[in-house]
């Protein structure tokens, strides 16, 4: 392993989120992928033997032999692995992720199991990075990224909520089949019609949104008082989630005020991070899911293995305002910004917080200590 990078591993080998992690880590300036842990069905195989499910070409990585969970725990302990990216199902994460903490690693998890535990930070870097205080920077632990659908909701509401009291939030979602995992994506590609229903999803979005927009006071989260209503549905689109948002504020605001807040909402602690795009919120007249999948990049044909900005911005429509009621739509690429890319950005930020990576004296860019 290079002395200039932090060793990391991925929990999960052949799923959509794991393969997004593989894309984003193959040329990452902070992290060096040193191992991949898989299920009993994949352990022992070479990484190249697993089918590649993303549209883009397989990234150039060492052809790891996939480790079993037991081998992965031993590998973590013996190889100074400090960062574990988790792309495993929630039921497995509940048992497995704490075991890697005992071996000295910090887990950055896409699984939902630990998200609502009060001692575990649930963080979107631009929204509530101060919630990382829940985890001592000197100790390993679990840091959770969010449900893929709540990310564009929280990211676009937060700049308004920071300065204006919100009375009510209503959300309607149009979620792609990849959000339901590889099996649902493959069945849809085979011609099956996905179910419109997404059991339990509305409650997850509501709970996570309230937690993300909570105020942190003395390491205690103070929940906001607004009401949240969520209606979710699955649509026959492979990648990318669209959310339609309506909020009611206590006082009226102007369209210009909201768009100005969106344009200036990025926190300074995201500046210069490898996965942080120049504009985190892009305002457009309408959403085009196929083009907007790569929001954040300036390239016409971005390669996600080389361009860490690709897919990391969200797209919002210009707000419509009637009195104190504000409406807009937002879009994000669920497997990138809503999953692997967002989780890597979170790990980048936390690595700086922990002192594993240090900012230069000029404040531009970062160096390994």
Alpha-carbon distance of 344 to 347, in angstroms, equals 5
Q: According to CATH, where is 3.40.50.720 located in the chain? A: 6-147+342-367
Q: What is the mean pLDDT of residues 329-343?
A: 97
Residues 6+ apart with CB under 8 A from 176: 234, 235, 237, 238, 239, 240, 241, 334
Which residues sit opposite 106 in a β-bridge?
Answer: 83
Q: What is the mean pLDDT of residues 51-77?
A: 95
pTM of the shown model: 0.95
Q: pLDDT tens across 223-247, in order?
A: 999 999 999 999 999 999 999 999 9
Check residue 5 and give its pLDDT.
92
- Please give the torsion angle defined by the CA atoms of residues 24, 69, 143 and 52, in that order, rounded to the nearest 10 degrees: 30
Q: pLDDT tens across 130-153, in order?
A: 999 999 999 999 999 999 999 999
Check residue 207 and give its pLDDT.
97
The CATH number fitting domain 6-147+342-367, selected from 3.40.50.2020, 3.90.420.10, 3.40.50.720, 3.60.15.10:
3.40.50.720
| Number of DSSP helices (H) and strands (E) in the chain, helices first | 10, 16
The CATH number fitting domain 150-332, selected from 3.90.1170.40, 3.40.250.10, 3.30.300.130, 3.30.360.10:
3.30.360.10
Place of tokens 């200036």: 264
Could you give phi then psi for residue 175, rounded to 5 degrees? -105, 135
Q: pLDDT tens across 29-62, in order?
A: 999 999 999 999 999 999 999 999 999 999 999 9
Q: According to CATH, where is 3.30.360.10 located in the chain? A: 150-332
């Amino acid at each position: 392993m290079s002395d200039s990078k932090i060793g990391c591993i991925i929990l999960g080998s052949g799923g959509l989120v794991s393969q997004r992690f593989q894309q984003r880590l193959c040329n990452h300036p902070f992290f060096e992928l040193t191992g991949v842990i898989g299920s009993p069905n994949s352990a022992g195989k070479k990484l190249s033997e697993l089918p590649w499910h993303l549209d883009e070409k397989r990234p150039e990585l060492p052809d790891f032999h996939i480790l079993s969970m037991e081998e992965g725990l031993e590998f973590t302990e013996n190889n100074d692995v400090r960062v574990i990216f988790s792309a495993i199902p929630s039921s497995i994460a509940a048992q497995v992720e704490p075991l890697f903490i005992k071996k000295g690693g910090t887990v950055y998890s896409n699984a939902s199991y630990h998200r609502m535990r009060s001692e575990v930070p649930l963080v979107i870097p631009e929204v509530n990075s101060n919630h990382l205080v829940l985890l001592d920077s000197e100790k390993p632990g679990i840091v959770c990224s969010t449900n893929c659908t709540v990310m564009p909701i929280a990211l676009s509401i937060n700049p308004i909520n920071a300065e204006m009291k919100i009375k009510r939030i209503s959300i309607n979602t149009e979620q792609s089949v990849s959000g339901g995992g590889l099996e649902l994506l493959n069945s849809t590609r085979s011609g099956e019609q996905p179910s419109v229903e997404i059991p339990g999803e509305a409650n997850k979005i509501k709970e996570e949104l309230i937690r993300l927009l909570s105020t942190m006071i003395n390491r205690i989260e103070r929940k906001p008082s607004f009401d949240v209503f969520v209606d979710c549905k699955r649509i026959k689109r492979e990648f990318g989630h669209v959310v339609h948002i309506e909020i009611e504020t206590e006082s009226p605001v102007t369209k210009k005020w909201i768009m100005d807040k969106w344009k200036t909402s990025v926190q300074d602690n995201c500046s210069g991070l490898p996965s942080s795009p120049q504009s985190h919120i892009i305002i457009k007249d309408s959403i085009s899911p196929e083009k907007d999948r790569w929001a954040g990049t300036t390239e016409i044909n971005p390669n996600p293995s080389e361009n860490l900005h690709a897919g990391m911005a969200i797209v919002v429509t210009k707000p419509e305002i009637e009195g104190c009621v504000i409406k807009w739509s937002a879009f994000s690429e669920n497997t990138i910004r809503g999953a692997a890319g967002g989780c890597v950005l979170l790990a980048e930020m936390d690595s700086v917080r922990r002192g594993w990576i240090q900012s230069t004296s000029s404040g531009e860019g970062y160096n390994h200590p």
